């Protein structure tokens, strides 16, 4: 499948608005893959990028982007930069992206790649995405590209008024569900909508992992 074929497939589904389709079409997925995977860039599947991580399939990138209901002015937090593909798509849809990546090598390569592409509305740092980015909070929307077993409380705390969080939740080897969580106004209440079954690499709570290691 080529880029045009993928866009036709997404458009035929009727699930995505014109802004999301334009964003997907404007970002060359080939640039976010290892050279040996370049020929698969427009296949609608997740592809490995090293370090046990993947680039999400375009359908999922489009679905998660659509679920954020972005209008173009928002500040968005992304947890899990990876290669920077979802980051680049988000940069076309909102005012500013703050992206956090735990793996130093991926963070460095994503930063270099986005700079080469002239993406100017992204801030990227290497760190613990479980904790969000409190210095830049609140956020109008958040997207998490790895699956925690439970929703990280710091992310909910950093979600702004009527903010939206799109996140896969569930165990690594069990049922994972993509969820859209919305803050009700400025209250401490949240509404959750299930968007279906997904499969993501795990988002590990480093503090929980440390406690586990200490018990061994």
The pLDDT value given to residue 211 = 38
Active site residue 56: yes
Q: Whole domain around residue 40: which residue ranges?
A: 3-215
Whether the model clears a pTM of 0.85, i.e. scores above it, the answer is yes
Domain count across the chain? 1
Q: How many residues does the chain have?
A: 216
Compute CA 151 distance to the chain's CA centroid, rounded to the nearest angstrom.
15
Secondary structure element (H or E) that encloses residue 99, with its range: strand 96-101
Secondary structure element (H or E) that encloses residue 141, with its range: strand 139-144
Q: What is the CA radius of gyration of the chain?
A: 16
The pLDDT value given to residue 204 = 76
Annotated catalytic residue within 56, 91, 99, 109: 56
Q: Could you read off the pLDDT of 129-180 as tens digits, one per residue?
A: 999 999 999 999 999 999 999 999 999 999 999 999 999 999 888 899 999 9
Q: What is the CATH number of the domain that holds 168?
A: 3.40.50.150
Closest CA to 68 of 91, 93, 43: 93
Model confidence band, residue 205 (pLDDT cutoffs 50, 70, 90): confident
- Residue 214, pLDDT > 80, answer no
- Write out the E strands in 155-213: 159-169, 176-183, 190-198
Backbone φ/ψ region at 66: left (φ over 0), alpha (ψ -120 to 50), beta? alpha
Mean pLDDT of the chain: 93
Mean pLDDT on 189-203: 95
Closest CA to 168 of 186, 191, 150, 189: 150
The pLDDT value given to residue 207 = 64
**Using an 8 Å Cβ cutoff, are 171 and 195 in contact?**
no
Residue with token string 């939740």: 169
Q: Could you read off the pLDDT of 62-81 as tens digits, one per residue?
A: 999 999 999 999 999 999 99
Angle between helix axes 58-67 and 3-13 (nearest 10 degrees) is: 50
**pLDDT more than 90, % of the chain:** 91
Q: Could you read off the pLDDT of 12-47 as tens digits, one per residue?
A: 999 999 999 999 999 999 999 999 999 999 999 999
- Residue 209, pLDDT > 90, answer no
Q: Which residue did the predictor score with more confidence, 206 or 134?
A: 134
Mean pLDDT on 85-101: 98
């Amino acid at each position: 499948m080529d880029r045009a074929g993928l866009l036709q497939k997404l458009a035929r589904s009727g699930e995505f608005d014109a802004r999301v389709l334009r964003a997907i079409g404007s970002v060359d997925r080939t640039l976010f893959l290892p050279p040996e995977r370049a020929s698969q860039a427009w296949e609608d599947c997740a592809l490995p990028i090293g370090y046990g991580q993947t680039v999400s399939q375009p359908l999922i990138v489009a679905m998660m982007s659509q679920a954020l209901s972005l209008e173009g002015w928002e500040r968005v937090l992304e947890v899990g930069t990876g290669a920077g593909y979802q980051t680049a798509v988000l940069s076309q849809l909102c005012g500013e992206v703050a992206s956090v990546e735990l793996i130093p090598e991926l963070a460095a390569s994503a930063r270099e790649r986005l700079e080469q592409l002239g993406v100017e509305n992204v801030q990227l740092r290497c760190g613990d995405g479980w904790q969000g980015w409190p210095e830049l909070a609140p956020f109008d929307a958040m997207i998490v590209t790895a699956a925690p077993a439970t929703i990280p409380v710091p992310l909910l705390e950093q979600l702004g008024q009527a903010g939206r969080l799109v996140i896969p939740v569930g165990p690594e080897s069990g049922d994972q569900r993509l969820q859209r969580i919305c803050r009700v106004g400025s209250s401490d209440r949240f509404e959750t909508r299930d968007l279906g079954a997904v499969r993501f690499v795990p988002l590990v709570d480093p503090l929980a992992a440390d406690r586990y290691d200490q018990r061994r």
